[in-house]
């Protein structure tokens, strides 16, 4: 599960959308957005999941600290991605050897101190400024060896890998009235 | 080297900035932006390189096709990142075994057909919609085993990895007048 905190409605729309899509595509079970409520953002992610498959959860929760505390109380562990943290390459084995459910916190411009405090691991994907989207992608792929092979159920469409060009494959699915979508 | 095509001045500012920062941090030699000219974008990348170290080149080139053709004429090869391409996990060994200089093309919303035609490899980091930033990060890390260990010269500042909190280290550098910066 991924938790994106500090979302700002207009300024962060695309960055937060990318975080959600990356979480989905690399095998996270869902994303929770905190900060400013943004229905269009939730809608973008839900639309992709409806079309390209899931399962992938997506919701807004203004009370992210409460959510993190409950996650931990239920036995889960928490990674906070920060350029100030310990190097991912030094901690990845420890993280992979832990069987707890993982929550990955992805911060925005200004991250409250609580995120550092609540985290079991403050992890840096390089100690350099770059991109929370890239950091999330790299850690998800390192945690889950088969992240790139994630299978999506209920897709209405998929792509056939192709040397040059674009090959879509529509997937016929029964509708409630018995007709096929696509 | 990374080539970001189809940049749009306002709409893509943050996404294109993230592409540049990810290219730098994961060991690419530089980034070339095409599409709309955006001095602020170039300035953001140059500022980071001046402060956090390099070498990392960054420039604008409206004639991206000409640049790609010259790259190939000089013996370089070209990867085009596209969700329609062949799976990165299936082609990465072939790419790594090729000793040519690599140019990675990162597209925007609408990618001209020439990008598919000019590429030696059209590569998908999953055949699902997500993020060009994440795709770039994952392929750079797969191409270069020591991408996360990239060393930056001439940095004025660096971060000491830290279990909890923030540790900056200023690096004293001789100025032309003999004083130290920081």
Residue A174 has pLDDT above 80, yes or no: no
Pairing between β-strand A168-170 and β-strand B121-124 as defined by DSSP bridges = unpaired
Residues A100 and A171 in one domain: no
B38 Cα distance to chain centroid? 16
The pTM score is: 0.94
How many CB contacts within 8 angstroms connect chain A with chain B? 146
**Cα angle value B56/B100/B147 (rounded, 5°):** 45
Q: In this complex, do A87 and B136 lie within 8 Å of one another by their Cβ atoms?
A: no
Report CA torsion sign: B67, B68, B69, B70.
positive
The token duo for B138 is 């994952």
The token duo for B150 is 């990239």
Q: What is the pLDDT of residue A182?
A: 40
Q: What is the pLDDT of residue B170?
A: 83
Residue B51 belongs to a domain: yes
Q: In this complex, do B127 and A161 lie within 8 Å of one another by their Cβ atoms?
A: yes
Residues A133 and A175 in one domain: no
Residue B108 belongs to a domain: yes
Burial grade of A137 (CB within 10 A; 0-12, 13-18, 19 or more): buried
Q: How far is A85 from chain B (nearest CA, A)?
A: 5
Domain of B135, CATH number, reads 3.40.1280.10
Q: What is the pLDDT of residue B180?
A: 40
3-state SS, chain B, equals CEEEEEECCCCCHHHHHHHHHHHHHCCCCEEEEEECCCHHHHHHHHHHHHHHCECCEEEECCCHHHHHHHHHHCCCEEEEEEEEEEEHHHHHHHHHHCCCCEEEEECCCCCCHHHHHHCCEEEECCCCCCCHHHHHHHHHHHHCCCHHHCCCECCCEEECCCCCCCCEEECCEECCCCCEEC
The residue segments making up the domain with residue A45 are 2-150
Distance CA(B1)–CA(B19), nearest Å, equals: 12
Residues A168 and A115 in one domain: no
Residue B178 has pLDDT above 60, yes or no: no
Select the residue of A122, A159, A163 nearest B164 (Cβ to Cβ): A122
Q: At what angle do helices A132-143 and B132-143 cross, to 10 degrees?
A: 50
Contact A170, A182 (CB under 8 A): yes
Q: How far is A174 from chain B (nearest CA, A)?
A: 22
Residues A140 and A171 in one domain: no
Residues A25 and A107 in one domain: yes
Q: State pLDDT tens for residues A55-111.
A: 999 999 999 999 999 999 999 999 999 999 999 999 999 999 999 999 999 997 789
Q: State pLDDT tens for residues B12-55.
A: 999 999 999 999 999 999 999 999 999 999 999 999 999 999 99
Residue B137 belongs to a domain: yes
Residues in B closer than 8 angstroms to A149, CB to CB, are 89
Number of domains in chain B: 1
For B121, nearest residue in chain A (alpha carbons) = A163
For A27, nearest residue in chain B (alpha carbons) = B126
Contact A125, A134 (CB under 8 A): yes
Report CA torsion sign: A96, A97, A101, A104.
negative
Residues A68 and A156 in one domain: no
Residues in B closer than 8 angstroms to A148, CB to CB, are 87-89, 125-126, 138
Residues A74 and A26 in one domain: yes
Contacts of residue A54, defined as CB under 8 A and 6 or more positions apart, other chains included, come to A24, A152, A153, A154
Distance CA(A152)–CA(A142), nearest Å, equals: 20
Distance CA(B158)–CA(A95), nearest Å, equals: 25
Distance CA(B85)–CA(B78), nearest Å, equals: 13
Check if the interface score ipTM surpasses 0.85: yes
Q: In this complex, do A85 and B162 lie within 8 Å of one another by their Cβ atoms?
A: yes
Residues A103 and A115 in one domain: yes
The token duo for B85 is 């391409």
Binned at pLDDT 50, 70 and 90, residue B179 comes out as very low
Residues A76 and A130 in one domain: yes
Residues A96 and A174 in one domain: no
> Strand pairing partners for A130?
none
Cα–Cα distance list, B82 to A22, A131, B112, B133 (Å) = 15, 20, 12, 12
Q: Which position has the token pair 């084995």?
A: A93
Residues A120 and A163 in one domain: no
For A26, nearest residue in chain B (alpha carbons) = B126
Binned at pLDDT 50, 70 and 90, residue A181 comes out as very low
Q: State pLDDT tens for residues A13-39.
A: 999 999 999 999 999 999 999 999 999
Residue B166 belongs to a domain: no
Binned at pLDDT 50, 70 and 90, residue A172 comes out as low
Q: What is the pLDDT of residue A109?
A: 77
Q: In this complex, do B148 and A88 lie within 8 Å of one another by their Cβ atoms?
A: yes
């Amino acid at each position: 599960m991924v938790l994106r905190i500090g979302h700002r409605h207009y300024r962060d729309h695309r960055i937060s959308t990318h975080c959600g899509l990356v979480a989905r595509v690399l095998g996270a079970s869902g994303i929770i957005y905190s900060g400013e409520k943004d229905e269009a953002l939730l809608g973008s992610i839900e639309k992709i999941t409806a079309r390209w498959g899931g399962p992938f959860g997506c919701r807004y929760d203004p009370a992210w600290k409460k959510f993190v505390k409950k996650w931990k109380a239920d036995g889960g562990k928490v990674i906070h991605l920060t350029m100030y943290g310990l190097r991912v390459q030094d901690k990845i084995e420890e993280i992979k050897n832990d069987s707890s459910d993982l929550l990955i916190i992805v911060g925005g411009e200004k991250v409250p101190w609580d995120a550092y405090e609540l985290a079991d691991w403050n992890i840096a994907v390089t100690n350099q400024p770059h991109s929370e989207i890239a950091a999330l992608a790299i850690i998800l792929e390192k945690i889950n060896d088969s992240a790139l092979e994630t299978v999506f159920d209920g897709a209405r469409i998929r792509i056939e890998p192709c040397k040059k060009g674009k090959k879509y494959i529509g997937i016929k699915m029964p509708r409630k009235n018995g007709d096929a979508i696509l």
